[in-house]
Amino acid sequence: MTPAATFDQALSIVELLPLEEQEDLIALIQRRLVEQGRRRVIAEVQQGRRDYQNGLATPLNPKTFLDELDQ
């Protein structure tokens, strides 16, 4: 899929907006990114629960969990 605009094109357009609208756009994008992050975490938790219920995942003790994070 080809993007409708390149990053540079989008930035050029944003720079044409008044400062207040640029600030509003930044705030809006930040909120959307936070929401996308929430949805991603929810999806990962749901997948983890399905994996656990299907026997594809097992609980770990804290030490083992931390050891696996270091790998």
Minimal CA–CA distance to 12: which of 24, 20, 2, 22?
22
What is residue 5's predicted lDDT score, i.e. its pLDDT?
84
Confidence of residue 16 (pLDDT cuts 50, 70, 90): very high
The conformational region for residue 55 under phi > 0 = left, psi -120 to 50 = alpha, else beta, is left
Per residue in 25-69, pLDDT (tens digit) is: 999 999 999 999 999 999 999 999 999 999 998 888 999 989 988
Query: pTM for the full model?
Result: 0.69
Q: What are phi and psi of 3, to 5 degrees?
A: -65, 150
SS3 content of the chain, % helix, strand, coil (to 5): 75, 0, 25
Task: Quote the pLDDT of residue 36.
Answer: 98
